[in-house]
Amino acid sequence: MVLDSSKDLAPAEPTGIWSWITTVDHKRIGLLYGVTALIAFFVAGLEALLLRLQLTTANGTVLSADAYNQLFTMHGLTMLLVVVMPVGAAFMNYFIPLHIGARDVAFPRANAFSYWLFLFSTIMLLSSFVLGGAPDGGWFGYAPLSTQLDEFVRMDYYAIGAQLLGIASIMASANFIATVFTMRAPGMNLMRIPVFTWMAVVVSFLLIFSLPIFGVGLFQMFFDRNFGTQFFGGGGDPLLWQHLFWLFGHPEVYVLILPAMGIVSEVIPVFSRKPLFGYPFVVFSGIAIGFMGFGVWAHHMYTAGLGPVAEAGFGVATMMIAVPTGVKIFNWIGTMWGGKVRFELPMMFAIGFVSLFVIGGLSGVLHSVVPSDYQQHDSYFVVAHFHYVLFGGGVFGYVAGAYYWFPKWTGRFLDQRLGQWHFWLMLLGFNLTFAPMHILGLNGMARRTYRYPEGLGWEFWNQVATVGSFIIGISFLIFAWNLIKSRKHGVAAGSDPWDGRTLEWSIPSPPPVHNFDEIPHVEHVDDFWHRKYATDEEGRAVRMPDVTGGTIAPETTTGGESEGGGHEDDMHMPSPSYYPIVAAFGIIITGYGFVYLPGGWVAVGVGALVTLWGFFGWSLEPVTRDEHHD
């Protein structure tokens, strides 16, 4: 009866394109992030396949040097800033409020603004291919190469595009932190938050502290290129850029991997039917990785000439990051140990993550051995290492998340058979592509080289890698087909298909606009599990009788009218608004203007006006729907 009256009060889900443009619903914004990132993944993947084709033979002629350099720069830039980071943001957007029992994020319109700015920055970066050439100085943009050719707009696209993506990310991060710290359901203290959401908090702090450093560097690069300052070039210091870049760039690595670790920490307990082994240790090791991530940036600079003392210090600090990382891995194995491991698709990808991440982690330790890194630095060994971490780790983790939560997004399962094909092909293709790169790197193949001569013995493993990369491509076509097909025609999943542990499984799939009819009252880590199961004397889980089909009967959650915390007030969802997209659009006009200085000053002015209009309208419009609508 409580449920019914809530439903009457709940806002209906709007439909149509306009409703997506003006949406401030964290779930829709999460899906927008996800779909955008997936499309960008295919673009960046296509770039990678072209790179692989070029390297299949010695003295390859598929691409020109100029094309190759643009493509490898954009592959890195796109995969990191436009694919993996936003995929993390997609999961965070969708699940942070659901995990902590909230109805939306703290600042819904700022959230929409973050997405639109991200989308427009992405379009801007990709448009550079047809508007004067894409960035070709590497995603790391080392000065003074990046400030050298100011005849071209390419690295201006880099300086402005990355800057705007950074602004979007900082705003999103502030939003997530505010959400987790202020909007948790009653009883959801910090040590009851699901690990994924904990990792989201760590990542948000990493971004808030590291992106401004990158932003400063990007401004300096832009000034060097356009206004004749000499921060890095001319009489300036090229190593200054490297310090600024890697002070962002290294924490960024953890930004990319920690959410995937969070996902795996959600998936493994569910499919082992045990709680996460050592929850506080997993959380604190994540926080430790975040802190230590700021103290190891110079391990990207061992060949730059910092002096042996600095190199030794950063080497030892880097080794120590292996400790909290190891703690996580052992705890995941500890979770499976003694459990009932079910090989459902999310679990298969999660196990793949653990296994492949171990390889990437160990090759990372090899890099921390500084003299050894004098050889491996900027060789294909490094390429192998970070793909094991970011693809074998990151992408496997995010795909695990997609299989795990697809039923929550759509109410349907992803197809089992297609999923099996996807997993095995991806596992095979991934290892065929990147394992040989270890060997190539140790045998002296340098990165970022558009061709290599005969006689160095690199052809065979390059061919294996190319074959592998196309197998990865096929596996992701299968995945895309699975997503499209299963969205409408998948097997119906119900609200709690995996017998889940966290709050998102306590509500219907897909969730209603307001998420929770009744704000839950939390008493445990994995609160939803504890509403379904008790333990016997031996400590085994025993299903409680009052649970019906995975969905909690209303009586068990309500717990009296007063405890829910005045749900009628909470039902006022934020109104849709088109001002976020207007403001973001204005900023992107400004961005294009800066790229094409001095003629672009006109666009800078126009864009600034549009931005002002957006922010002005935003600040004047009422936050929630008209109070008198009924």
Partner 1 sequence: MPLASTPVAIAGKVKHDQKKAIPGVARRSPRLVGLVALLALVLSACSGSGPQTALNPEGPIGRTIDDLWELVFILATVVFVIVQAALIYAIVRFRARKGDDSEPVQVHGNTRLEILWTIIPVVILAAIGFPTVRGIFDVRAIAEGADVLQVQVTGHQWWWEFEYVDLADETGRTLVTANELYIPEDTEVNLTMTSADVIHSFWVPVLAGKRDAVPNRVSNLTLIADNPTPPDAPHPGQCAEYCGLAHADMRIKVHVRTQADFDAWVADQLTPATIPTEGAAAAGYEAFNTCVACHNVTVMGENGPEDIGVVRTIEVDGVTFTSSLAPNLTHFGGRDTFGSGTFENNAEHLAQWLADPSELKPMRPELNDIPNGRILGMPNFNLSSDDIANLIALLEGWE
Interaction residues for partner 1, span 565-624 (CB under 8 A):
none
Q: Give me the half-sphere count of Cα atoms (radius 13 Å) on the Cβ side of residue 96.
A: 36
Q: Give the whole-angstrom CA distance, residue 134 versus residue 69.
A: 9
Contact yes or no for 389/354 (Cβ under 8 A): no
Query: In the range 417-456, which residues lie near partner 1 by CB under 8 A?
Result: 435, 438-439, 442-453, 455-456
Coil, strand or helix: which one is 550? coil
Does 192 bind partner 1 (CB under 8 A)? Our answer is no
Q: In the complex, what is the shortest distance from the CB of residue 427 to partner 1, in angstroms, rounded to a whole number?
A: 12
Give the 3-state secondary structure of 177-194: HHHHHHCCCCCCCHHHCC
Number of residues that bind partner 1 (CB under 8 A): 102
Q: Give the whole-angstrom CA distance, residue 466 versus residue 453.
A: 17
Q: Give me the half-sphere count of Cα atoms (radius 13 Å) on the Cβ side of residue 357.
A: 27
Region binding partner 1 by CB under 8 A among candidate stretches 357-365, 401-409, 484-492, 502-510:
357-365
Q: Give the whole-angstrom CA distance, residue 104 versus residue 26.
A: 6
- The tokens describing 109, both together, are 């319109």
Q: In terms of CB distance, is 182 or 375 closer to partner 1?
A: 375
Q: In terms of CB distance, is 8 or 538 closer to partner 1?
A: 538
Q: In the complex, what is the shortest distance from the CB of residue 196 to partner 1, in angstroms, rounded to a whole number?
A: 18
One residue of 9, 14, 186, 273 binding partner 1 per CB under 8 A: 273
User: Would you give the binding string for partner 1 spanning residues 317-356, x where CB under 8 A is met?
Assistant: --xx-xx--xx-xxx-xx-xxxxxxxx-------x--xx-
Q: Supply the Cα-derived Rg of the chain in whole angstroms.
A: 25
Q: In the complex, what is the shortest distance from the CB of residue 394 to partner 1, in angstroms, rounded to a whole number?
A: 18
Query: In the range 11-70, which residues lie near partner 1 by CB under 8 A?
Result: 64-66, 69
Coil, strand or helix: which one is 551? strand
Q: Give the whole-angstrom CA distance, residue 105 versus residue 301.
A: 39
Q: In the complex, what is the shortest distance from the CB of residue 202 to partner 1, in angstroms, rounded to a whole number?
A: 19
Burial class (CB in 10 A: 0-12, 13-18, 19+), 333: middle
Does 142 bind partner 1 (CB under 8 A)? Our answer is yes
Contact yes or no for 589/607 (Cβ under 8 A): yes
Does 280 bind partner 1 (CB under 8 A)? Our answer is yes
Q: In the complex, what is the shortest distance from the CB of residue 566 to partner 1, in angstroms, rounded to a whole number?
A: 34
Q: In the complex, what is the shortest distance from the CB of residue 448 to partner 1, in angstroms, rounded to a whole number?
A: 4
Q: Compute the C-alpha angle 404/200/112, nearest 5°.
A: 90
Does 544 bind partner 1 (CB under 8 A)? Our answer is no
One residue of 281, 424, 470, 615 binding partner 1 per CB under 8 A: 281
Query: In the range 481-540, which residues lie near partner 1 by CB under 8 A?
Result: 533, 535, 538-540
- The tokens describing 81, both together, are 């800033």
User: Would you give the binding string for partner 1 spanning residues 112-131, x where CB under 8 A is met?
Assistant: --------------------
Q: In the complex, what is the shortest distance from the CB of residue 300 to partner 1, in angstroms, rounded to a whole number?
A: 12
DSSP annotation of 453 reads -
Q: In the complex, what is the shortest distance from the CB of residue 407 to partner 1, in angstroms, rounded to a whole number?
A: 19
One residue of 197, 272, 475, 557 binding partner 1 per CB under 8 A: 272
Q: In terms of CB distance, is 413 or 476 closer to partner 1?
A: 413
Looking at residue 210, its amino acid is S
Does 370 bind partner 1 (CB under 8 A)? Our answer is yes
Residue 67 CB neighbour total at 10 angstroms: 18
One residue of 274, 412, 514, 532 binding partner 1 per CB under 8 A: 274
Q: Tell me the H-state helices in 411-458.
A: 416-442
Q: In the complex, what is the shortest distance from the CB of residue 4 to partner 1, in angstroms, rounded to a whole number?
A: 34
